[in-house]
Structure 1
Amino acid sequence: MLIQIGTDQVVHGDEELIRHFEEELTTRLSRFSDHITRLEAHFKEEAADDGMNRCCVLEARPAGRRTVAVSHHAGSVDEACRGAVHKLESMYGRADHRKGGDSIRHQSGPAGS
């Protein structure tokens, strides 16, 4: 799974921050590495009713499927990342545990062949 991290002008993406989040995302999402070929993380600061807050947008690019995007707003980039990862984990957990999901997804030809 290739991980790409981007930041806006306010959330500075120095080497330490990028390395930290690459490790965090790799660790938390490693069980989905067979499904996700590329993961893009975007960190930015946005205006909120109570001031400024951080936002993490995760775009997962699964093999043979549409891109999945989730976002989470929080007071820090760490909290925003954890929240977005949790949402992505929930989405993939639901997809893998749907009744008949595996047999439908892995079926290679018409029924009965």
Structure 2
Amino acid sequence: MQIKLNTDSHIEGNAKLKGYVDSLVESTLDRFAKRITRVEVHLTDQNSGEKSGTNDKRCVMEARLSGRQPFSVTASADSVDRALDGAISKLERKIASEIDRKDKPRGRTRIAPESPEDDETDDIL
């Protein structure tokens, strides 16, 4: 699973932040690791670095599962940590529901009735 971090000019994408994001994504999505090819994390400061405000940090996470279309989730919070936590929780739920939805057969399962011919062959053997 590849993890890519993107930040805007108001959030410093240093090695410490990259390490934290990698650790968070890997530990949270570990059970899906074989199915995930890539996770992209985009962090932005909506109000720029000079202003502060509520819910001004935004995290968008995009996941790519093998053989499926990519999808994304978004979370906003007053800090980068909280925005990351909100987005990873949403992404974990989204991946679980996507996998469950795609792996389960749709509609009713038809069970074919036994034919009388099957009973006769059992008696011969």
Q: TM-score range by the shorter chain?
A: 0.7 to 0.9
The equivalent residue for 1:44 is: 44
The equivalent residue for 1:60 is: 63
State the shift of 1:51 in Å.
Answer: 2.6
Alignment of 1:6-25 (within 5 A): 6-25=6-25
- 3-state secondary structure, aligned to 1:51: coil
Q: 4+ residue runs of structure 1 moved beyond 2 angstroms?
A: 95-98
The equivalent residue for 2:72 is: 69
Structure 2 segments unaligned to the other structure (5+ residues): 106-125
Structure 1 segments unaligned to the other structure (5+ residues): 105-113
The equivalent residue for 2:103 is: 102
- 3-state secondary structure, aligned to 1:31: helix
Quick one: percent identity of the two aligned structures?
Answer: 35
Question: How big is the alpha-carbon RMSD for the aligned residues of Structure 1 and Structure 2?
Answer: 1.9
Q: Larger Cα Rg: Structure 1 or Structure 2?
A: 2
State the shift of 1:96 in Å.
Answer: 3.2
**1-structure distance, mates of 2:78, 2:53:** 10
**2-structure distance, mates of 1:51, 1:80:** 13
- 3-state secondary structure, aligned to 1:10: coil
What TM-score do you get using the length of structure 1 for normalisation? 0.80
**2-structure distance, mates of 1:84, 1:51:** 19
The amino acid that maps onto 1:102 is D
Is 1:82 equivalent to 2:85 in the alignment? yes
